[in-house]
Structure 1
Amino acid sequence: MFKRIDHVEIIPSDIEVSITFYTEILGFKIKQREEVDASPIKEVVYLELDDSMLELLSVEEPKSSSKTEWQVGYRMLALEVKDIEDTIKYLEDKGIEISWGPVDLGSSKRAEIRDPDGLPIELRQW
């Protein structure tokens, strides 16, 4: 009945800054971008990374999200990486700060970064 997660939806404070971060830093590709007339939504952008997809929504007057770390709701996006140390070096070279880790968990390694709006992104090497 259910096949897979189709996409994760994010409302950024500045869609251009987020598009740049997700495409130029994390390697997503723009699949589709279109303006819409469905207030408060102004524009929809789909970004692909292999078989994963993000949907960025540009909305009128986006509100800041809560900074409470352990609130009910979605906690973070997680990206699988080939080599955590190489990924961390690459990100640091691009000016992206590692907000947590890396930690060796035995069968995997984990670290975290933040997107331009401070949304957490887990990096996981299996």
Structure 2
Amino acid sequence: MFQKIDHVAITVKDRVASIRFYEEHLGFQKYYEHDVPAPGIEKIAYLRLGDTVLELIHMPEGPKNSGYHFCLISDDFDGDFNRLKSAGIPIAQLPHTSAARTPEEEGWRRVVFLGPDEEMIEFRG
């Protein structure tokens, strides 16, 4: 049976800028990058945050990211929100209370920011 999601992939127009964004603002670290022998794709970069892997598919002429998001858990919701807001990262949804799916999530809030390619980045905590 399956164990977990291995990675989440998004398309990016500017690989270098996206890697910098995820490393500087969200704490990811690039650990692997390679060329891709496929039309429209220049490279793929893999970034890690704990056990989470984000795959950046570099498609300079590719489609925009829309209709989906990924979510990170924050251990300092207000601090992370204020840091990203102060850095000028666009906010798609202001902080608000979220439903608790488990007892540990009682009182959590959520917020959604936009990444460099309009990808939606939610965090909760």
TM-score by length of 2: 0.84
| RMSD of equivalent CA atoms | 1.8
> Any conservation in 2 of the 1:10–1:56 contact (CA below 8 Å)?
yes
**Residues in 2 aligned to 1:97 and 1:60: alpha-carbon distance in whole angstroms:** 21
How far 1:34 moved relative to its partner? 1.5
SS, match of residue 91 in structure 2: coil
> Tell me, which stretches of 5 or more residues in structure 2 are unaligned?
100-105
Counterpart residue number, 2:26: 26
> Any conservation in 2 of the 1:113–1:120 contact (CA below 8 Å)?
yes
| Cα deviation digits, residues 15-55 of structure 1 (max 9, x gap) | 12211111111110001011222323221100000000011
In the alignment, is residue 102 of structure 1 matched against residue 95 of structure 2?
yes
SS, match of residue 24 in structure 2: helix
**Residues in 2 aligned to 1:44 and 1:60: alpha-carbon distance in whole angstroms:** 12
**Residues in 1 aligned to 2:36 and 2:84: alpha-carbon distance in whole angstroms:** 33
SS, match of residue 63 in structure 1: coil
How far 1:65 moved relative to its partner? 4.7
Aligned residues: 118
**Residues in 1 aligned to 2:72 and 2:9: alpha-carbon distance in whole angstroms:** 15
**Residues in 2 aligned to 1:33 and 1:10: alpha-carbon distance in whole angstroms:** 14
**Residues in 2 aligned to 1:21 and 1:89: alpha-carbon distance in whole angstroms:** 16
Counterpart residue number, 1:90: 83
**Residues in 1 aligned to 2:121 and 2:63: alpha-carbon distance in whole angstroms:** 20
Counterpart residue number, 1:69: none
Residue identity opposite 1:51 in structure 2? D
> Any conservation in 2 of the 1:39–1:60 contact (CA below 8 Å)?
no
1 or 2 for the larger relative contact order (CA 8 Å, sep ≥6)? Answer: 2
> Tell me, which stretches of 5 or more residues in structure 1 are unaligned?
67-73
The 5 A counterparts of 1:67-86 are 75-86=68-79
Give the 4+ runs in structure 1 shifted more than 4 A.
none
State which drifts further: 90-99 or 12-21.
90-99
Counterpart residue number, 1:41: 41
TM-score by length of 1: 0.83
Residue identity opposite 2:81 in structure 1? I
